[in-house]
Amino acid sequence: MIIKNKIVTIFSFFIFLLILLSICLIASMLIQREYFVKYVQARDKISLLNNILQQITSQRLHFDYYVLATDEKEKENFVLAATRIKQLIDEISDIKEKNVIQQKYIKLLSVVEKVFNQVNKEQRFSLAIQEFFPLYEDITNQLMDYISVSNKEEKKLQRYMLMINLVSVMISVIIIIFALIISANFGVKIYRSLIDPLNTIAEHTSMLAKGEYKEIKYHTGDEFDNVFSAFNRMVKDLKSLQSQIIQMDRLSNIGQLAGGIAHELNNPLVGVLGMAQILYEKLPPDSPLRNYVEKIEQAATRCRESVSRLLQFSRQKEYEYTEVDIVEVINNVLFIADSELKAQNVKVITLFSNNLPKIKVSIPHVQQALLNIINNAIQAMENMNTKTLQIKTYLSKDEETEYVCVEIQDTGCGIEKENLGLLFEPFFTTKDKNKFAGVGLAITKDIILHHKGKITVYSEGKNKGARFTIWLPTKN
């Protein structure tokens, strides 16, 4: 199974589990909603029945006071209470229960009306005892029975909702555990199918960086085979080119050498880089294997940059001059180098002079020149405790020309005096020659000279930093 199919399989499985979990949760929510509505209705019903019971109990007090004292005000209060009670009874949702309560209450009111119409006090007492109180007890007992039934229904609904919650949680936990087990199994299989070829590529890339040109002899039956083939082609080309380089002792053949490198290395380099990028995109974002692919991509990118810089030095590009504010160019370069500056924790200080005149330059070339110096400064400060990059602009004049000057100063490892005169020579570098071609500053000087400008460097020695100054004429 190729890597793409493996990734698609595991992602499809996760999507299936996600859909299954979503269905379970939605079903649980719908059932819970149904029971919750019933629970709210039961609570409302209990509240309504309790309210009716309280109103009838309060109404009885008005009746008792009237029977004892024949107080007309108590009679009026009874009538008002009866109106409220009728309205509350009408709100009962259960038709059967509502009819039962209404009938009993109507009977109660008819007896009360007889009592109110009775002039004789003894007759009122007799009617109250014989007819009113039995009906009152009957309706209150009926209400309490309904309340008791509703309370039981409410508790039952609470138990159902709790049970549904527990079942929902259990199902979710089971699905999650199952997903973790399956994903771990898939992960181990994919890891095992990737780690060996990735280790092989990383090992051979490291050997290549040390100058050992050893081809990869490994077969996986997936995308790695394309990467291996591209890598092996590059190794063969590098072996051939190394033989040519050893035979050249003069820079007079640099153009021919650069052309040969470009034709011989560009296609396999693009192949290695392209395959590495495809492999990187197909790996999950959190995969620990991405680190190996990044190393492969970095090594290929480094080789491609070396070839590109060599070509740039040997083949002059067309210069197109545009009037521009040099500060804008510097800011663009700082934006390009921002990620590397942050990665190395470099503090950038800018001291830009106001009202500098605009100058005509080839923007891409000047950007390349500035970027070469800044990259050189970042590399020089890699192992320093203090990492500060200061960029300063100002206006300067000599006897004949006015210049806009860009001064770039770092707190890096510095430059020894015997190397200051060689710094702008092609292929001169004080760093690891397996990592750096040593043409960056030579290209920078070539660009500045094309602008009729000049570049100088100053350093007090080892671990004392360095200061590069670019002079660009205001009239070009």
The CATH number assigned to the domain holding 35 equals 1.20.120.1730
Residue 86 pLDDT greater than 80, yes or no? yes
327 and 468, same domain (yes or no): yes
199, 294 Cβ separation under 8 angstroms = no
238, 208 Cβ separation under 8 angstroms = yes
303 and 329, same domain (yes or no): no
Q: Which residues of 242-256 are buried (b: 16+ CB within 10 A; e: fewer)?
A: eeeeeeeeeeeebee
* 245 found inside a domain: yes
Separation CA 145–CA 329 (nearest Å): 88
165 and 225, same domain (yes or no): no
And the tokens for 271?
């192949």
* 254 found inside a domain: yes
177 and 67, same domain (yes or no): yes
What band does 326 get if pLDDT is binned at 50, 70 and 90?
very high
Check residues 188 and 48 and name the one with the higher pLDDT: 48
* 335 found inside a domain: yes
Residue 436 pLDDT greater than 50, yes or no? no
50 and 169, same domain (yes or no): yes
Give the count of domains, the chain.
3
* 207 found inside a domain: no
Percent of the chain with pLDDT over 90: 22
309 and 328, same domain (yes or no): no
45 and 170, same domain (yes or no): yes
Show which of 314, 332, 353 is a domain's final residue. 314
pLDDT (0 to 100) of residue 470 = 96
Residue 408 pLDDT greater than 90, yes or no? yes
Show which of 314, 343, 369 is a domain's final residue. 314
Domain extent at residue 112: 3-181
DSSP, res 250: S
244 and 363, same domain (yes or no): no
Residue 317 pLDDT greater than 70, yes or no? no
Task: Express the helix, strand and coil content of the chain in percent, nearest 5 each.
Answer: 70, 10, 20
* 271 found inside a domain: yes
Nearest to 335 by CA among 294, 382, 370: 370
The H or E element containing residue 397 is strand 388-397
27 and 156, same domain (yes or no): yes
Separation CA 102–CA 11 (nearest Å): 64
What band does 433 get if pLDDT is binned at 50, 70 and 90?
very low
pLDDT (0 to 100) of residue 410 = 94
The CATH number assigned to the domain holding 384 equals 3.30.565.10
297 and 386, same domain (yes or no): no
pLDDT (0 to 100) of residue 426 = 66
* 135 found inside a domain: yes
310 and 327, same domain (yes or no): no
302 and 350, same domain (yes or no): no
Residue 340 pLDDT greater than 60, yes or no? yes
Tens-digit pLDDT profile for residues 144-199: 998 998 898 888 888 888 888 888 888 888 888 887 888 777 777 777 767 777 78
* 355 found inside a domain: yes
The H or E element containing residue 323 is strand 322-324
Least confident of 67-81, 82-96, 277-291: 277-291
* 117 found inside a domain: yes
Q: Is the dihedral of CA 4, 9, 13, 19 positive or negative?
A: positive
Sheet (strand 347-351) strand order: 347-351, 388-397, 402-410, 466-473, 454-458
Average pLDDT over residues 187-216: 76
Residue 444 pLDDT greater than 80, yes or no? yes
Show which of 296, 314, 332 is a domain's final residue. 314
Q: How far is CA 168 from the centre of its chain?
A: 29
> 260 — phi, psi (to 5°)?
-65, -40
